[in-house]
Amino acid sequence: MRKNVFIFVILLGLVAYSAYDYINNRTNSDGNKQQSVQDGGATVGIKEGKQAPDFTLNGLDGTPVSLSDFRGKVVVLNFWASWCPPCRVEMPHMQRLYEKYDAKNVVVLGINLTSTEKSSDNAQSFVDEQGLTFPVLLDSKGEVMDNYRIVAYPTTYFIDEKGIIRQVSQGAMNADMLKKAIQPLI
């Protein structure tokens, strides 16, 4: 009996994932049919080969910053939270990546999942503690987190200079993994 219940739960999960994947491939984050993007004809989406959805968030200093501000550069878009242990492990590697590749037209753009933090001050404390110098934006309402369907912390998108997503990685990345992901893009 327990074996049958287990099999049923697995099958139900597979069906749910298939439905989610089908809907995700047919619609963009607003629920509309995907639109063609002028450069290259790529469609907006959150999967590899799709045009990364644009957004605007405030930086730690309150200045609004858009993803499209970095068009022409390779963007390492990293979603993180201060309470997330794997994020803490990954951040020194992100900082070193930024320091090493900043002169090569690569930007690391950190998105703090502020809506998941106990206090909005946690992002600044974390940045100070880690000695981060790359741009950090605050997703205070969780809208970008929702649009990019972030379910694992950290999640990193590697976006080429045309704004096309080339790789998506869930979970903490080390220096070797980051180097392997960035090399084809520079």
**pLDDT one digit per residue (tens) for the chain, 186 residues:** 665 544 444 444 443 444 345 445 444 433 433 444 444 568 999 999 999 999 999 999 999 999 999 999 999 999 999 999 999 999 999 999 999 998 899 999 999 999 999 998 999 999 999 999 999 999 999 999 999 999 999 999 999 999 999 999 999 999 999 999 999 999
**Digit-coded pLDDT (tens) for 117-134:** 999 899 999 999 999 999
Cβ proximity of 141 and 115 under 8 Å: yes
Q: Please tell me the distance from the alpha carbon of residue 51 to that of residue 6, in angstroms, as a whole number.
A: 39
Instruction: Say whether both 23 and 93 belong to one domain.
Output: no
CATH number, domain with residue 80: 3.40.30.10
Instruction: Say whether both 58 and 14 belong to one domain.
Output: no
Instruction: Say whether both 109 and 56 belong to one domain.
Output: yes
| Closest to 79 measured CA to CA, from 159, 183, 185, 176 | 159
For residue 131, the enclosing domain spans 36-185
Does the annotation mark 84 as catalytic? yes
> How many residues does the structure list for the chain?
186
Instruction: Say whether both 66 and 148 belong to one domain.
Output: yes
Catalytic residue (one of 84, 145, 165, 172): 84
Instruction: Say whether both 1 and 85 belong to one domain.
Output: no
Instruction: Say whether both 26 and 42 belong to one domain.
Output: no
Instruction: Say whether both 88 and 47 belong to one domain.
Output: yes
Does the annotation mark 87 as catalytic? yes
Q: So what's the pLDDT on residue 67?
A: 98
Q: So what's the pLDDT on residue 23?
A: 43
Instruction: Say whether both 119 and 140 belong to one domain.
Output: yes
Catalytic residue (one of 44, 52, 87, 97): 87
Domain count, the chain: 2
Instruction: Say whether both 52 and 70 belong to one domain.
Output: yes
**Digit-coded pLDDT (tens) for 71-106:** 999 999 999 999 999 999 999 999 999 999 988 999
Q: pTM to 2 decimals? A: 0.78
Instruction: Say whether both 28 and 40 belong to one domain.
Output: no
Instruction: Say whether both 80 and 143 belong to one domain.
Output: yes
Instruction: Say whether both 77 and 99 belong to one domain.
Output: yes
Q: Is 163 left (phi over 0), alpha (psi -120 to 50) or beta?
A: left
